[in-house]
């Protein structure tokens, strides 16, 4: 998901709409905005679909006045899937004795089932099926004297990954979980402030990137400035390494590094680790592009756009009939035949999950007359599901969970298939010594199976770590 908030500017919600538009890659199913105005109080709008289709008209933006606003773009990793329930669309809102508060959450609460059960037993009435709603009910139960105090107390009971942007009538609040699994950054805009999942959304509103919110940090912001404190027990951070590989936008800065440059470095590492003779390096667009450029630069093999992406095809295209569904990846990607015919082609993609994309693309490339197809993947084999806010399928459906690298190559029927090593990936993100096996610098559970936070709900449901 993507989260964004602004305080201290006129018509804050219009800045939030722009910020969410720049974060659309983090969630395409739905979006919501809450704004507060001293005269009109709190207002909210939640809609299915893209920000550009929902939050651009004057008609809707006029209903969200005021100098303080937060928003959320949704990508379902818990609760209902797809566009099934508007009640699961954030921000969530609660009315407390000291006033209202709205919250937007990115991540996944790994003990949400237990918390929900306990809360319902004690009388909480849930409005949604989302894990994030627990935070509101925990706040309602807290005896804290201010909303930030209550949020702090609520979040101490929550396990897993959370970056949160919240607002009261006068304050913008940002929190990152102690491991800092999901990103959150602080920006300055005029006399006001912004919080965002990624720096690319600060750029779009002309805000200056100030710094990252630190793992375990809570900031409470009003027009007087930013107050920071660390309410959780300090732990060694474990940022999601997959944000560098795939999730974040290449024009964002993460951990002081350009995501684009990191991805290019991944491509270079791949070329060093798994070289192969070929005529062309082609990305699987768009997610494989920077790594393919890095592979080409390192290997000296020319880069070419052998696959063209239809820019108008969203990730959540409606698939109305069986006939159209069977066209699958063809709706989005097409082979540039003139380039491919008779060539030995290296295809670079960011990841192999179920293997569906790679299989279809290989068929298309061979149909177009390629002589050889070599896959190079910018992440290690995805063998474990993510429980911290990326929607990977059940373990059985992950290709790498049931097959060795050789078996995957056979299954995909390609001339070669190589993944970057875990150490290679760590080097590419700036860890010159590679992965520290006793205390890894990042979360890499989807590749290593080493979960930094026990996924309590899943273990309860029989998941074997």
Q: Which residues bind ligand 5GP (CB under 6 A)?
A: 246, 284, 287, 315, 349-358, 390-391
Closest to 99 measured CA to CA, from 46, 157, 36, 154: 36
88 is in the binding site of which of ligand SF4, ligand 5GP, Mg ion, none (Cβ under 5 to 8 A by kind)? none
Q: What is 168-200 written as a DSSP string?
A: -SS-EEEEE-TT--S--EEEEETTEEEEESSTH
Nearer to Mg ion, 199 or 287 (CB): 287
SS3 282: strand
Write out the binding residues for [4Fe-4S] cluster. Answer: 240, 386, 443, 446
SS3 245: helix
200 an active-site residue? no
- How many residues lie near Mg ion (CB under 5 A)? 1
Among 446, 455, 456, 457, binds ligand SF4 (CB under 6 A): 446
Burial group, residue 291, by CB count within 10 angstroms (0-12, 13-18, 19+): buried
Under the binding rule (CB under 5 A), the answer on residue 28 touching Mg ion is no
The footprint of Mg ion on residues 248-287 (CB under 5 A) is 287
Nearer to ligand 5GP, 62 or 319 (CB): 319
Closest to 132 measured CA to CA, from 110, 156, 100: 110
Nearer to ligand SF4, 121 or 396 (CB): 396
Least distance from ligand SF4 to the Cβ atom of residue 39, Å: 42
Under the binding rule (CB under 6 A), the answer on residue 1 touching ligand SF4 is no
What does DSSP say about strands 68-74 and 30-37: parallel, antiparallel, or unpaired? antiparallel
What's the full length of the chain, in residues? Answer: 465
Among 4, 193, 260, 388, binds ligand SF4 (CB under 6 A): 388
Least distance from Mg ion to the Cβ atom of residue 282, Å: 13
Omega of the bond leading into 336 within 30 degrees of 0 (cis): no
Under the binding rule (CB under 6 A), the answer on residue 23 touching ligand SF4 is no
Among 101, 292, 304, 386, binds ligand SF4 (CB under 6 A): 386
Closest to 388 measured CA to CA, from 200, 162, 210: 162
The set of residues, in sequence order, having a beta carbon less than 8 Å from that of 420 and lying 6+ positions away, is: 266, 269, 270, 273, 377, 378, 379, 380, 428
Least distance from ligand SF4 to the Cβ atom of residue 241, Å: 5
Under the binding rule (CB under 6 A), the answer on residue 352 touching ligand SF4 is no
Least distance from ligand 5GP to the Cβ atom of residue 109, Å: 18
Under the binding rule (CB under 6 A), the answer on residue 240 touching ligand SF4 is yes
Nearer to ligand 5GP, 294 or 355 (CB): 355
Nearer to ligand SF4, 444 or 457 (CB): 444
User: Alpha helices, DSSP H only, in 123-248?
Assistant: 133-141, 147-156, 200-204, 241-242
What does DSSP say about strands 253-254 and 99-109: parallel, antiparallel, or unpaired? unpaired
Under the binding rule (CB under 6 A), the answer on residue 443 touching ligand SF4 is yes
| Active-site position among 1, 134, 200, 282 | 1
SS3 367: helix
Q: Distance (Å, rounded) from C-alpha 434 to C-alpha 18?
A: 38
The footprint of ligand SF4 on residues 190-219 (CB under 6 A) is none
Nearer to Mg ion, 42 or 295 (CB): 295
Burial group, residue 249, by CB count within 10 angstroms (0-12, 13-18, 19+): buried
Under the binding rule (CB under 6 A), the answer on residue 390 touching ligand SF4 is yes
Cβ distance 69 to 15 under 8 Å?
yes
SS3 399: helix
388 is in the binding site of which of ligand SF4, Mg ion, ligand 5GP, none (Cβ under 5 to 8 A by kind)? ligand SF4
Least distance from ligand SF4 to the Cβ atom of residue 289, Å: 20
Write out the binding residues. Answer: 240, 287, 349-350, 386, 443, 446
The contact set with ligand SF4 (CB under 6 A) reads 181, 240-242, 386, 388, 390, 443-446
The contact set with Mg ion (CB under 5 A) reads 287
Q: Which residues are catalytic?
A: 1
């Amino acid at each position: 998901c993507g989260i964004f908030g602004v305080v201290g500017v006129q018509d804050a919600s219009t800045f939030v709409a722009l910020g969410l538009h720049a974060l659309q890659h983090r969630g395409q199913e739905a979006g919501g905005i809450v704004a507060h105005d001293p005269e009109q109080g709190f207002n909210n709008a939640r809609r299915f679909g893209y920000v550009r289709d929902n939050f651009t008209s004057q008609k809707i933006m006029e209903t969200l006045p005021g100098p303080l606003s937060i928003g959320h773009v949704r990508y379902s990793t818990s609760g209902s899937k797809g566009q099934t329930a508007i009640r699961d669309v954030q921000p969530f809102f609660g009315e407390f004795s000291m006033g209202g508060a709205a919250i937007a959450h990115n991540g996944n609460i790994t003990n949400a089932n237990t918390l929900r059960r306990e809360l319902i037993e004690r009388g909480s009435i849930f409005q949604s099926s989302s894990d994030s709603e627990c935070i509101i009910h925990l706040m309602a139960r807290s005896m804290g004297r201010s909303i930030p105090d209550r949020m702090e107390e609520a979040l101490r009971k929550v396990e897993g990954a959370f970056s949160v942007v919240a607002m009261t009538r006068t304050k913008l609040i940002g929190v990152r979980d102690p491991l800092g699994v999901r990103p959150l950054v602080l920006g300055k805009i005029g006399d006001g402030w912004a919080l965002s999942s990624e720096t690319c959304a600060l750029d779009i509103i002309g805000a200056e990137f100030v710094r990252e919110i630190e793992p375990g940090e809570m900031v409470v912001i009003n027009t007087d400035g930013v107050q920071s404190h660390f309410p959780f027990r300090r732990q060694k951070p474990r940022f999601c390494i997959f944000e560098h590989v795939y999730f974040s936008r290449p024009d964002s800065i993460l951990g002081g590094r350009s995501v684009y440059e990191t991805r290019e470095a991944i491509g270079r590492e791949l070329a060093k680790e798994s070289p192969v003779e070929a005529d062309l390096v082609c990305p699987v667009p768009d997610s494989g592009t920077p790594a393919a450029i890095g592979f080409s630069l390192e290997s000296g093999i020319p880069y070419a756009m052998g696959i063209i992406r239809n820019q108008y095809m969203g990730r959540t295209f409606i698939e109305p009939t069986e006939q159209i569904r069977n066209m699958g990846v063809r709706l989005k990607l097409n082979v540039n035949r003139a380039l491919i015919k008779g060539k030995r082609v290296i295809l670079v993609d960011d990841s192999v999950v179920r293997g569906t994309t790679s299989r279809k693309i290989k068929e298309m490339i061979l149909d177009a007359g390629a002589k050889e197809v070599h896959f190079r993947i910018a992440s290690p084999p995805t063998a474990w599901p993510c429980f911290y806010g990326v929607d990977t399928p059940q373990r059985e459906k992950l290709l790498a969970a049931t097959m060795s690298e050789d078996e995957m190559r056979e299954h995909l029927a390609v001339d070669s298939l190589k993944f970057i090593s875990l150490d290679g990936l760590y080097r590419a993100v700036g860890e010159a010594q590679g992965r520290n096996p006793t205390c890894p610098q990042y979360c890499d559970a989807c590749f290593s199976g080493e979960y930094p936070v026990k996924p309590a709900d899943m273990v309860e449901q029989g998941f074997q770590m």
